[in-house]
Amino acid sequence: MTDTADGATERTAGATHVGDGEATDARLVAALAGTLDEAGRGRRTVARLTDTTDLDLDTAYRVQRAVIDRRVARGEALIGVKMGFTSRAKMVQMGVDDVIWGLLTDAMLVEEGGVLDLGELIHPRIEPEIAFLIGSPLSGTITPTEAVRAIAGVSVAYEVLDSRYADFKFTLPDVIADNASAAGFGFGTWHDPTGLDLSNLGLLVEIDGRVVATGSSAAILGNPLRSLIAAARLAAEAGLELRPGWVVLAGAATAAMPLPKGVHVRVSAAGLGRAEVTTR
């Protein structure tokens, strides 16, 4: 920001003022967040932000945060994070190749065995995940031992995705700004991670009893623990910490599948039981 003699006049000029880089930037972030947030609430897709705006990753994360701030202002609470593109299956499916994260609020949580109303979503998909329950604060560079010690529980989980972009097509900055396509999630019973080898658990997705996907937790960065370690690093970079009681979704082990109305989905993992949801 330039400090000029007529600075006071410039500040009162507000929205019409040009040449004030930071303020323009903040307005742009707020406007893009508004576009995505309103699209989600109105069940409408929007054009990719990068079609018209030069968006670097840093600005994309600021848009993501601003979207969540709007949700928090409406009464939602931040309850965790979701990791994205931690498996090759997902990178290949979506055509991007960087690990990202999004933020989870309590409004996205589906109670175990609950019913999810897809009427509020645009083009939902579902994918199998491993979830961690945080027991003690995590942020920054941590070792696998520190990661295990901070975990209060591990569970099989599912994530429901919904892109606010047409045809589920986006570039990396677009999907970051759109909170990594987050829409909903659920998990089963929490298990004590001590002594559990998470590196190669078989995962199964069934829709109405028919197996639609199989995979292994090995697909998630070789071991979902690595995803938790990455989450702690991203938290520090975002000036956040993973707090006790928060949930961390480690990322999908398989490609995501279209989620129709009126079906029963069961996701199971060897040794961790299952998580179930019915759609309507």
List contacts with Mg ion (CB under 5 A): 159, 252
Distance in Å, CB of 96 to ligand OOG, minimum:
8
- Burial label for 132, CB within 10 Å (0-12, 13-18, 19+), is buried
Piece of 67-75, 81-89, 132-140, 186-194 that binds ligand OOG (CB under 6 A)? 81-89
Q: Please list every residue from 245 through 274 that binds ligand OOG, using CB under 6 A.
A: 251-252, 256
Site string for ligand OOG, 149-178 (x = CB under 6 A): ----------x-x-x-----------x---
Say which entry of Mg ion, ligand OOG, none residue 94 contacts (CB below 5 to 8 A, set by partner kind): ligand OOG
- Which of 128, 173 has the CB closer to Mg ion? 128
Whole-angstrom distance, CA of residue 168 vs CA of residue 173: 14
| Residue whose pair of structure tokens reads 């700004």 in the numeric block | 177
Q: Write the single-letter amino acid at 136.
A: S
Q: Which two tokens stand for residue 234?
A: 């991203």
Counting runs of H as helices and runs of E as strands, what totals does the chain give? Answer: 7, 12
How far separated are the first and last CA of the chain, in Å rounded? 51
Pick the closest to residue 139 from 228, 58, 62, 65 (CA basis).
Answer: 228
Binding mask 202-241 for ligand OOG (x = CB under 6 A): ----------------------------------------
Phi then psi for residue 122, to 5 deg, are -90, -60
Using DSSP, state whether 177 is helix, strand or coil: helix
In angstroms, give the least distance from the CB of 252 to Mg ion. 4
> Which residue, chain included where needed, has tokens 């994530």?
159
CB of 138 to ligand OOG, least distance (A): 19
Q: Which two tokens stand for residue 219?
A: 């697909």
Instruction: Candidates 105, 179, 181, 268: give the one binding ligand OOG (CB under 6 A).
Output: 181
Contact positions toward ligand OOG, by CB under 6 A? Answer: 82, 84-86, 90, 94, 127, 159, 161, 163, 175, 180-181, 251-252, 256
